[in-house]
Chains A and B, each alone.
Chain A
Amino acid sequence: MRYYITRILRSCLTLIIVVTVVFLLMRLMPIEGYFGAGFDKLDEGQKIAKLQNLGLLDPWYKQLAKFYGDLAQGDLGESITYRPKVAITKILGDKLIVSLKFGVISLSLSLVLGLSLGVLMARSKGKAWDRIGTAYVVAANAIPAAIFYLLIQIYLSSFFNLPLLYDKGNLKSWILPILCLSLVNIAYYAMWIRRYMVDELNKDYIRLARAKGLRNKDIMVRHVMRNAFVPMAQYLPASILSTVSGSIYVEGLFSIPGSGGLLVTAIQRQDNTLVQALVLMYSSIGIFGLMLGDVMMALFDPRIKLSSGGGSR
């Protein structure tokens, strides 16, 4: 228990440092960025009125204090340039849900298909299935995603008569983007589960199990799968959580109104409040995702203990 408490405290400290540094860096950006293309046509009075309104003319420590004050009350503020005067929570709420839906569906699909493929490959190591699977894994990793996304979009949509662009009312339009999002992940999971399983298969306890006369299927599912999944379990929570950040290219191609590329856009447009909120969110996801991963690992493998210092593994 003590381990978790100190770990949470340390995570919070990291989070505060990250957010503060980003906050201060944003204050170093040139002021013209807050005005966009119309900057040349504004007069001094208008510029000052806006900067004053945004609180950007205050000293940095005052701005920082105000930011944490608002944050403590759960107020992330209003967007400045991305969608002026709209609450950040509203903007993020709309977008994250969309990305999360796509992310979780594609991740589940990748897990199911990837693990099945990996198990199949491990069981038929060196035979046809293994070779086909390996070819797929190599292809998925070697061909730049941008190319096969575009190919999938243009050719599969006309071949299967599917819509080119996402339309939230049309379920058919979900198929291609989910396929695009899953392809690489399937290969990733297949590759690792195969690797870990092959490792496990060569271990002594498997030989013992075989000698005991256990059925091959039981060995695979009860022993090999379970042990092979442990190293992958660690990254699972972080992967699930980070799907909220969306995919820049797939969302762009299929017109999905998710959060892909939102951080980049927000930085380019100098939308301080939005950048701060996103950094806060992504860093928390990163930090707490890893922590959950450790917990998961401990659950899957009773040999791993996080609380006592050293000696467990």
Chain B
Amino acid sequence: MKKVISLLLVVTMLFTACKSDQQPTDNSAPNNQNEFQQGQDVTEGGKYAEKQVYRYAYSEEATTLNYLTSATQVDQGIAAKTISTLVEYDKYGIIKPGLAEKWEVSDDGLTWTFNLRKGAMWVDYEGNEVAETTARDFVSAAQYLLTPSNESETANMFYSVIKNAQEYFSGEIDDFSEVGVKAIDDYTLEYTLKAPIPYFESMLTYVCFFPAYGPMLEEMGDQFGTSNTTMYFNGGFILTEFEPQAQKIYKKNPKYWDKENIFLEELNYKYNKESVALGGELYKRGEVTHVNIPVSNLDEWMNNPELKDMVRPDKLGNYSYFYVFNFKPGFSEENEPKNWEKAVNNLNFRNSIKYAFNRVAAMMTEDPYNPEYRIINTITPPNFVSQNGKDFTMTSKLSDVSNGKYYDEAEAKKFKEAAINELKEQGVTFPVKVVMPYNTGSSYWAQEAQVVKQGLETSLGTDYIQIVLLPHAPTGFLNGTRRAGNYGLMKVNWGPDYADPQTFTDPFKRDGNYNFPEYTTSVDENGKNIYEKYETLVNEAKSELIDLSRRYELFAEAEALLLENAFVLPYNVSGSEGYVVTLEHPFEIAYAPFGISNLTFKGQKLLAKPMNTEEFNKAQEEWKTQRASKLMEASK
């Protein structure tokens, strides 16, 4: 026995010796930021945390740091923190100067000239100054983006608006100087558009308009941004360490042109694949400052008075989720596509489902504590864009829809009777089979589909409709369902690409792959095809580039038409992370209606203790009021 023990001891010692070459790297690097903070009360009387270090455990790793090619939000989030843009959003969502101090647009709305600020430096991952950011860096980045072999997934956003950019991308022209992006001198940048775009400024906050240091791009080629050593930074933070599936560490950039508005000294991201399971524990031990509480763990937090005081809902996102009816059924014969085609073109049939759809009950699967919070009555979410201080969803006819009624069983039964009478004449057989797919990769969705099925079948009766659930694996999900028209009623989503109501008409374009509305035979009281009416309104709105109020009204009218005719059943706006425990103040950072500007951490301070739900709601109300008046001010 003694021998065994001594053997063990020897072995242990050996291991310790083997491992000692792994001695911790010295972390006591000089902390120069502290000096600059000295002498002022960073906590502002106990409101904020003394140590402004953000720590977070993440489970999804970025694939690349190359912000000129990636269309993934996780990847772009890194660029948002480390790269400066021409213009920025303030905390109310109003555009303000960024790298561009001022800018002007020509009378025809085609030429935009930006005057860049001086002294905005590029630094490497160790913080060494490399060069000044100049107008040429925007041109170099654009050329990189438009070179097809670089496989940029955001190039189309750029060439959809910039003159000759698509021609260069497709190889029709070889001379890059013909493309509508020019460096007049080091500090003057000029974009020439294909057509006037009222929302062009908003697009500048998206990755495809980000600058990159030209000589670096040339040297690195497709290796640009494969690690933090193959790129330079000019934003609020420097990515000092990037070890995939291990950690990302950002340090405040002391050379940043607007460093007065960066309050966090360090952002410390630690990878953990099981962070959803471990997050709560990590927070309780003080190892992270932000954690997402999944619905499955929510009860544990909400039922404990102490923990409950730390949890709050997250700010709403900008992805819109809605159920659509399919007008070009591609499902199998057993589910009677011909029968569906007749039924779905009947307004009363669609309305019966619209009014029988209990959205609150369905949302309980995702947010059992406050299901109404995320539910919206329009396709375009509220607080997305506004004109003259008026929110888009409150514009002309759309405001009726916004204030309209949805779930109403009595109403649903009335429409059902009407539909049965009309459809029987057309030889429709009952029950009508409604194919409804869901992604088996999402546990919420599976539950939600069950709730929707039961709800609709109970209120309308199984002799009227029969919901056929179609579970589909995550691999090739959209190809197998939505894009193939393999559904009758399905939940789909759309995220905006720029700050203009037009972006939410894109899924309903002719030859799209959402719900194929161009195949409808539904007509209005004058016998005019509903989709043709919609298309006319949208085209008219798109060509209205001068009178923006009129533009918004037309888009609002178009969306209202789709909703009044129940082509689309609005459902919810994304709840971001759902419920969080976090030291972040949610309303001190940039508010952006789309894209990645809300991921910059600029203006972010950590609170001394997390906000609870009441405090969050109060802060949100305050923010909304302030925002309304700021928007009014800005529109003048």
Name A residues whose Cβ lies closer than 8 Å to a Cβ of B.
30, 32-33, 35-43, 45-46, 49-50, 53, 81-86, 91, 94-95, 105, 108-109, 112-113, 116, 120, 150, 153-154, 158, 164-165, 168-171, 174, 251-253, 255, 257, 261, 268
Q: Looking at chain A's contact residues, is the secondary structure mostly helix, strand, loop, or mixed?
A: helix
A45-B170, A85-B222, A105-B15 given; A169·B25 CB < 8 A: yes
Inter-chain contacts of B282 with A (CB < 8 A): 164-165
Inter-chain contacts of B15 with A (CB < 8 A): 105, 108-109
**How far is the CB of B142 from the nearest CB of chain A, in Å?**
16
Give Cα A265 to B170, complex, Å: 33
The closest CB in chain A to the CB of B282 belongs to: A164
Inter-chain contacts of A46 with B (CB < 8 A): 148, 151-153, 155-156
Contact between A112 and B245, CB atoms less than 8 A apart: no
Which of B66, B153, B272 meets A42, CB within 8 Å? B153
**How far is the CB of A32 from the nearest CB of chain B, in Å?**
6
Contact between A83 and B271, CB atoms less than 8 A apart: no
Which of B71, B274, B497 meets A253, CB within 8 Å? B274
Contact between B285 and A164, CB atoms less than 8 A apart: yes
Inter-chain contacts of B155 with A (CB < 8 A): 46
Name B residues whose Cβ lies closer than 8 Å to a Cβ of A.
4, 7-8, 11, 15-16, 18-19, 22-25, 27, 57, 63-64, 66, 69-72, 148-149, 151-153, 155-156, 169-170, 222-223, 226-227, 243-246, 270-274, 277-278, 281-282, 285, 287, 475-476, 478-479, 497, 513
Give Cα A49 to B458, complex, Å: 50
The closest CB in chain B to the CB of A150 belongs to: B277
The 6 tightest CB contacts between A and B, nearest first, are A169-B24, A38-B71, A252-B273, A49-B148, A257-B246, A257-B245
Give Cα A253 to B276, complex, Å: 10
Inter-chain contacts of B148 with A (CB < 8 A): 45-46, 49, 53
Inter-chain contacts of A120 with B (CB < 8 A): 4
Contact between B72 and A49, CB atoms less than 8 A apart: no
Contact between B243 and A257, CB atoms less than 8 A apart: yes
Inter-chain contacts of B513 with A (CB < 8 A): 40
Contact between B72 and A37, CB atoms less than 8 A apart: yes
Q: What is the total of A-B residue contacts with beta carbons within 8 Å? A: 129
Give Cα A255 to B15, complex, Å: 21
Give Cα A286 to B370, complex, Å: 53
**How far is the CB of A123 from the nearest CB of chain B, in Å?**
10
Inter-chain contacts of B11 with A (CB < 8 A): 108-109, 112
Contact between A81 and B63, CB atoms less than 8 A apart: yes
Contact between B278 and A41, CB atoms less than 8 A apart: no
Extra A-B contacts (16), CB below 8 Å, given A109-B11, A255-B271: A30-B476, A35-B153, A45-B148, A45-B156, A49-B149, A53-B151, A84-B151, A91-B244, A105-B18, A154-B281, A168-B246, A252-B274, A253-B273, A255-B57, A257-B243, A257-B244
Inter-chain contacts of B70 with A (CB < 8 A): 84
A83-B63, A164-B287 given; A41·B274 CB < 8 A: no
Inter-chain contacts of A165 with B (CB < 8 A): 57, 270, 272, 282, 287
Contact between B170 and A36, CB atoms less than 8 A apart: no
Contact between B156 and A83, CB atoms less than 8 A apart: no
Give Cα A30 to B15, complex, Å: 48
Q: Which one of B151, B155, B272 has the greatest number of beta carbons of chain A within 10 Å?
A: B151
The closest CB in chain A to the CB of B245 belongs to: A257
Give Cα A252 to B287, complex, Å: 17
Which of B8, B149, B156 meets A41, CB within 8 Å? B156
**How far is the CB of A102 from the nearest CB of chain B, in Å?**
11
Contact between B156 and A53, CB atoms less than 8 A apart: no
Give Cα A91 to B245, complex, Å: 11
Give Cα A129 to B18, complex, Å: 32
Give Cα A29 to B18, complex, Å: 45
Inter-chain contacts of A91 with B (CB < 8 A): 244
The closest CB in chain B to the CB of A270 belongs to: B475
Give Cα A43 to B223, complex, Å: 24
The closest CB in chain B to the CB of A169 belongs to: B24
29 intermolecular pairs with C-beta atoms under 8 Å apart: A30-B475, A36-B72, A38-B71, A38-B72, A41-B497, A42-B71, A46-B155, A49-B149, A49-B151, A50-B151, A82-B63, A84-B66, A85-B222, A108-B11, A109-B11, A112-B8, A112-B11, A153-B278, A154-B281, A164-B282, A168-B246, A169-B22, A169-B23, A170-B24, A252-B272, A253-B273, A255-B270, A255-B273, A257-B245
A43-B156, A83-B226 given; A113·B281 CB < 8 A: no
The closest CB in chain A to the CB of B71 belongs to: A38
Which of B63, B246, B278 meets A164, CB within 8 Å? B278
Give Cα A77 to B278, complex, Å: 36
